Structure 1
């Protein structure tokens, strides 16, 4: 469906406003083991991420890696660490004199192993703490080697409307998101504690549904969606007229927006992100949860004219 001649990609990001939905409790996956790493992940309306404890990467050759006890060199192991509450998490007012933290604790670990041992796992808790309670989980520099984290936020949506920048009355208008605004891929890179080439942790956020309130008083409609192919980024076949397209995500405006504020309809979008993780060859992507982000589009609609105007 890709016509390379006379093609115009109409991205309306300049008139699209991103509005974070009301923060909701995080949807988190169970703790996973990825090689010698142990990771706890989260997803919410702002983004997604992972907090991990990790041993030194070991590829199975050369001398055995040092144990955690050897790496401590006589210093105490501090199994807990406090993080800021991830954006998008709603919590009540903390008690007077306290503030909320995300406390993650490495439990059931074995200091005489190079990766914490097979039973090591992470426990996470949202806790109100005062200074004395914060001091229970100090984070000396030497403990950095046992922890790593990554996180990513969703990109601002870039809405495409075809076949014209300004929809026409009684002519179908087709809605899609650009590929760059409908998927986020985040990989641990050299911070990963994998012990062979098939173990790694990668997280992916992908738009799976787009709900559109067209702003003209008609009912909202929902479009199952996904990342569009690179060679067909808007799902619109330029060789066919607007009445003979495959893309089902469309709306027909019955009157112009001339009577609306600023002569534009206010289009409301609800974008559903599904976040998944991958830990190695043959395991496939495993979903850990979904989150919604809302956005507003100001959209002019004109009386029917020749297509391409």
Structure 2
């Protein structure tokens, strides 16, 4: 049975950290052409998109390293963003606010592309004045963030039947709709490098989460969940039935609470498979490829034999 995704939100009030690690180990591409227009589409574990040209050869030239692009400026590897849709947190500590802090890690300033190991790490953290000043936004850093501009949305883990799982009660996992489907139909532009490669139709790309493996973090083997996108308001969990009689198979039963774990929470590891297709005016979507994204979610589990809120 396919575990489906909805727009429903679960208030993860005691989840204080979300970490996502992007690597570029998986990649695939496809090319389409029309007249003198050639569009190359790509998908990897950072994101997906398309580059188009008029067929004219590029002149090439010298490409500066990251250090050379910096000049006399200081490299600032982190930036703060608003909390992603689908994740609701409790009140932050006094005089602080919740932010999504994204950091460029394992970069090599002596490389033109940041190096083979460069990737993003993301954490939801409370910050005050001093912490905010650690990651100031400077315009000269924009060029270094552009290579990550087509990333997948932050995975927002949905947990049922309660936002804090209970021992010996099945816990069901899903992703919110906002974090499991992407449509890119804004690729069109008169610019020669855009995806407007034919006057009769434009290139549209779609990314869907088609599989999610969940390592519950308690020593149990991972579970594999087939994913898809359901109608709005349907998340595959039936509120009229108890947790022991559900159609979804994307579930795990914790045997012990997380009290003895670091910060009192299990570390749940997610392996998310994105499948990317494109549409150019025909009756069906055409496959481009797949990519895998790894994420880590901190999850508290309580030693309570009831299903309260």
Category of TM-score, reference length = shorter chain: 0.5 to 0.7
Q: Does 1:288 align with 2:288?
A: yes
Structure 2 distance, partners of 1:268, 1:209, is 14
Structure 1 distance, partners of 2:179, 2:34, is 28
Structure 1 distance, partners of 2:19, 2:288, is 24
Q: So what's the TM-score if we normalise by structure 1?
A: 0.63
Helix, strand or coil at the partner of 1:204: strand
Per-residue CA deviations over 1:18-67 (Å, capped at 9, x if unaligned) read: 322432153111x2025763200111111011110259xxxxxxxxxxxx
Structure 2, unaligned stretches of length 5 or more?
1-6, 66-107, 115-148, 191-195
Structure 1 distance, partners of 2:239, 2:35, is 48
Per-residue CA deviations over 1:228-252 (Å, capped at 9, x if unaligned) read: 32121x3211111111111110000
Helix, strand or coil at the partner of 1:218: coil
Higher relative contact order, chain-length normalized (CA < 8 Å, sep 6+): 2
From 179, 182, 195, the equivalent of 1:181 is 179
1:152/1:100 CA distance change after superposition, 3 Å: closer
Helix, strand or coil at the partner of 2:10: coil
1:35/1:238 CA distance change after superposition, 3 Å: farther
Structure 1 distance, partners of 2:163, 2:64, is 42
Q: Which has the larger radius of gyration?
A: 1
1:34/1:250 CA distance change after superposition, 3 Å: farther
Per-residue CA deviations over 1:57-116 (Å, capped at 9, x if unaligned) read: xxxxxxxxxxxxxxxxxxxx654568999xxxxxxx99x9x8469xxxxxxxxxxxxxxx
- Count of residues in correspondence between the two structures: 220
Structure 2 distance, partners of 1:237, 1:84, is 56
1:306 is matched with: 306
Q: Does 1:221 align with 2:223?
A: yes
1:255/1:37 CA distance change after superposition, 3 Å: same
1:236 is matched with: 237
Q: 5 Å matches for 1:36-47?
A: 37-47=37-47
Contact 1:183–1:206 (CA<8 Å) still a contact in 2? yes
- Give the aligned CA root-mean-square deviation in angstroms: 3.1
Structure 1, unaligned stretches of length 5 or more?
1-6, 56-76, 86-92, 102-150
Structure 1 distance, partners of 2:216, 2:10, is 18
